[in-house]
Structure 1
Amino acid sequence: MRRKLLIRFYLFLMVTAFCLIPLQFFVHSQTPTSQPIVYYIPVEQAVERGLEAFMKRSIEAAIEEGADHIVLEIDTPGGAVDAAGNIARLLRETDIPITAYVVKDAISAGAYIALNADQIVMAPGSLMGSASVIDAAGNAAEEKMQSYWIAEMEESAKLNGRDPLYARAMADNTVDLPEFNAEKGRILTLLSGDALEVGYADALASNRAELLEFLQLENAIEKDMEISFAEQVARFVTHPVVIPILLSIGSLGLVLELYSPGFGVPGIMGISALLLFFFGHLFAGFAGLESVILFGAGIVLILIEIFVPGFGIFGVLGIGSIIGSMILASYSTVNILISLLIAVIITTIVSILIFKYFGYRGPMKKIVFTGATTTEEGYISNVTRNELIGQVGEAITPLRPSGMALFGNDRLDVVSEGGYIEQGKEVEVVYTSGSRIVVREAKKQSQREE
């Protein structure tokens, strides 16, 4: 009883969380004031699609609030190229003046985002650069991608009259800039002072007060956009590294639930992981409710295939629906397919190990027959009658090549070695295997005595 109440409470919490998703799109009312408004938007941690969704919401909020200036407080090690590109597009399409304030590090995609702002202000000791493209394994990306990224860096620098040479040097290690410790073979990372010298920083500011003084907005109303808890969760679960982990936990948890009696921890873990996947992608704006509905339909189809005898069509449709729902929910088809492949491999290996060492338990025990037709339970198997070998009997039916022969008082089904044997002929047993008794026509008595 207690377990059922806990499960119901858990499901209630998950449903409530999904119902609260629309609340992220709250309405901002413009503040009636004669003072200028400055919006601070944090650009922190890895650059990924969750950050992109947060940036979009923040800029929309600043516009609705009637902000006069947007400040991006940047401290990021970089991240996904596609997410950085979409964020840069947001910045370019925004009419409100935008200042990139590098409070610590604007590395890789962070440097690219900063270059797309109208102006750049850096804190003393901060860094900007090191923007080469690497793949998921940490190796340099293919030449085609490198060429695209270098062109994007140069174009972003040109937007606000900056020398594209330094932007290129941040992504291309063939550019020789020994005066900035970036000779050939090393990519460029600018210190705040160096950035100011080459025009990649318009000013240095130790804090917000100095920043506002440079912007001539000392009397401005300052407003901070904060990442909500739900957005933090969404940013975490939409990370390319986290997605295959979630899918692996989800599939493995559901498989383990088939091996455990009742509904317990494995099932809760599996459902929670999959709900987190969809929650994060729904909240980040990558998926719609149609993907969740399609996933639920896939689960139902698989359950029908398991408990109702069929020809596999429900199972195939169910698996297809689940894969389709995840592709719809994901922002990258390639990424989700790789994640699904990883999850399938992990789940298969663990399932084989569990079956080997623990056997079938729980619902799986009801699905898979594990009994045996043993003699102790009343089943009789065919026994090979080796004692018949060499015995001579009489064919009481023609053998073509099978028929019946009489051995003493036993009427037995026999088969000849291949030839035809007439009825009434003597036959000799030459081989037995289970119910199969092979005979040949017997030699005459005088020949046997010789």
Structure 2
Amino acid sequence: MRRKKFMKISPFTLVLLIIALVVTIASYREAGHGETDLLYVIPLKGNISGGIADFIQRAIAEAEERQAEAILLELKTLGGYADSMTEIGDTISKAKIPVDVFIEGRAISAGAYIALSANRIIMSPEAVLGASQPLVADGTPAPEKTMAAFRKMFRAVAEARAQKSGIELDPKLAEAMVDPTIEVEGVVAEGELLALTAQEAVTHGYADLIADNLNEAILKLGYEQLTQVTVQQTPVESLVRFLTDPVISPLLLTVGFTALIIEVFTAGFGVAGIIGILSLFLFFGARLFSGLAGMEVVFLFFLGLIMLVLEAFFIPGFGFAGIIGLIAMGGSIILSYATSGQGIASLGIALSWSLFIVSLVFQYLKGSSFLDRIVLKMAAEKEQGYSAVPTYEQYLGQVGVVVHPLRPSGVIELPDGKRLDVVSEGAYVQVGKKVKVIVVEGRRILVRVEE
């Protein structure tokens, strides 16, 4: 019986194995007993969008994973998307670690809701909280149904703050931040939106402390002994936040539509096509990353694009495929927004500006040599010998032999060896029979049996 041979391990390899084991065990032990006396500082500045909501979720999840003692949100915003606002508010309310907010300058519109969702609110002396009336895409006040929903949302978050903190506050003030028709005697008159200064907010229970800056806020909250960890957005998160901005998103659509329309009117595939595809890729890619859209929206868009390509290059005229394509593309863009109103407004802005820019470009380039180089102006007319399909009129009257039976369509062979797909007058014609071409209509060649 043969003995099994075992591979010998050199001393050097053995040393490397021991080092790898020590490093691995030490790393896991460090991860399990890492520093927990942490204060997570999360900056939330600028427009509230899907990108920033993802960032806040990621930062709070990281703080919970590292078992931080507290989280301080540094807030400075004029507002943003309602869906992102509620998403951030829910994340703060459900956090396992107390989340406090330091308002640096302003927490307007969506920012007020986010602030009221926190455990404690600290405001800088010049800070303002409130003025949260919901608006539709064109800047006009939202309909009563939306207004009523926002009133209840703000009232609910104010009542939750009072219950958590054990303080007395009038939840009607939160409703007055949303609806200018609500009057609170001695605070805000009917017809005005409520916006509280720092001192007013403290007086009415809508803020706990006033601090000149972030460091003073940390001291007043009693967090000075904690190790401060400031979370920053990753490059991808910053890019997604930028691309989902309410101004940038319609701009990407405008550039994409404009470039693709210009590409349709130019010869070949060039820079305009690349720019158009890249712009739409950035638009949908950012919305996928931010969670505003799913893969079904992207699929719907490209399905519409394929239908339009089929309509333009393979199906004559403009009919069912083109209409379905336009509906699919438009629908995909609308569905990628939180509300249909936002989507319709963005799509309308992009289309109107795209048509204007395309018209301006071709008007400016009209008559120029550059336009002659990129746009095909010569028409391929039938009178000049051009044809979109092969012509078969030259075979009219010729006689051929059936090589594949006609049922009623089949194949014949002419004396010069040319084979043609033909159709009989309706009767079955067997192989070997002679037939004569009697009618040619485009690609359709009609034959009759020769007697």
Coarse TM-score class (shorter-chain normalised): 0.5 to 0.7
One-letter amino acid of the counterpart of residue 262, structure 2: L
Normalised to the residue count of structure 1, the TM-score between the two structures is 0.67
Q: Match of 2:160?
A: 159
Q: Match of 2:53?
A: 52
| Root mean square deviation, CA, Å | 3.3
Partners in 1 of 2:361 and 2:328 — Cα distance?
A: 27
Cα pair distance change 1:147/1:349, threshold 3 Å? same
1:339 is aligned, of 346, 356, 369, to: 346
Q: Match of 1:79?
A: 80
| Matched ranges for 1:2-41 at <5 A | 32-33=33-34, 35-41=36-42
2:247 is aligned, of 241, 246, 253, to: 241
Q: Match of 1:439?
A: none
Cα pair distance change 1:34/1:168, threshold 3 Å? same
Partners in 1 of 2:65 and 2:253 — Cα distance?
A: 38
Q: In the TM superposition, what is the alpha-carbon distance from 1:275 to its structure 2 partner?
A: 1.4
Q: In the TM superposition, what is the alpha-carbon distance from 1:75 to its structure 2 partner?
A: 0.5
User: Are 1:326 and 2:327 counterparts?
Assistant: no
Partners in 2 of 1:195 and 1:157 — Cα distance?
A: 12
8 Å CA contact retained: 1:240, 1:335? no
| Residue identity (%) | 33
1:217 is aligned, of 223, 229, 232, to: 223
The number of aligned residues is 346
Cα pair distance change 1:191/1:220, threshold 3 Å? same
Cα pair distance change 1:133/1:293, threshold 3 Å? closer
Cα pair distance change 1:135/1:339, threshold 3 Å? closer
SS of 2:189 mapped into structure 1: coil
1:202 is aligned, of 202, 208, 211, to: 208
Q: In the TM superposition, what is the alpha-carbon distance from 1:70 to its structure 2 partner?
A: 1.3
Q: In the TM superposition, what is the alpha-carbon distance from 1:113 to its structure 2 partner?
A: 1.0
1:170 is aligned, of 154, 168, 177, to: 177
Q: Match of 2:104?
A: 103
Cα pair distance change 1:187/1:63, threshold 3 Å? same
8 Å CA contact retained: 2:308, 2:321? yes
Q: In the TM superposition, what is the alpha-carbon distance from 1:274 to its structure 2 partner?
A: 0.7
| Matched ranges for 1:257-276 at <5 A | 257-261=263-267, 263-276=269-282
Q: Match of 1:388?
A: none
| Matched ranges for 1:341-420 at <5 A | 341-351=348-358, 358=366, 365=376, 370-371=379-380
One-letter amino acid of the counterpart of residue 253, structure 1: A
Partners in 2 of 1:314 and 1:333 — Cα distance?
A: 24
2:196 is aligned, of 190, 196, 208, to: 190
Q: Match of 2:66?
A: 65
Cα pair distance change 1:128/1:338, threshold 3 Å? closer
Q: In the TM superposition, what is the alpha-carbon distance from 1:199 to its structure 2 partner?
A: 1.8
One-letter amino acid of the counterpart of residue 202, structure 1: D
SS of 1:52 mapped into structure 2: helix
Partners in 1 of 2:260 and 2:359 — Cα distance?
A: 14
One-letter amino acid of the counterpart of residue 227, structure 1: Q
Normalised to the residue count of structure 2, the TM-score between the two structures is 0.67
Q: Match of 2:417?
A: none
8 Å CA contact retained: 2:334, 2:342? no
SS of 1:370 mapped into structure 2: coil
Partners in 2 of 1:193 and 1:209 — Cα distance?
A: 19
SS of 1:42 mapped into structure 2: strand
8 Å CA contact retained: 2:137, 2:345? no
SS of 1:95 mapped into structure 2: coil
User: Are 1:284 and 2:285 counterparts?
Assistant: no
SS of 1:73 mapped into structure 2: strand
User: Are 1:122 and 2:123 counterparts?
Assistant: yes
Alignment deviations for residues 77-108 of structure 1 (CA, whole Å, 9 cap, x no partner): 12222321222122222221111111211112
8 Å CA contact retained: 1:258, 1:361? no
Gap regions ≥5 residues in structure 1: 1-28, 380-450
Q: In the TM superposition, what is the alpha-carbon distance from 1:276 to its structure 2 partner?
A: 1.3
Partners in 2 of 1:92 and 1:338 — Cα distance?
A: 32
| Matched ranges for 1:282-321 at <5 A | 282-309=288-315, 315-316=322-323, 318-321=325-328
Gap regions ≥5 residues in structure 2: 1-29, 163-168, 387-451
Cα pair distance change 1:57/1:257, threshold 3 Å? same
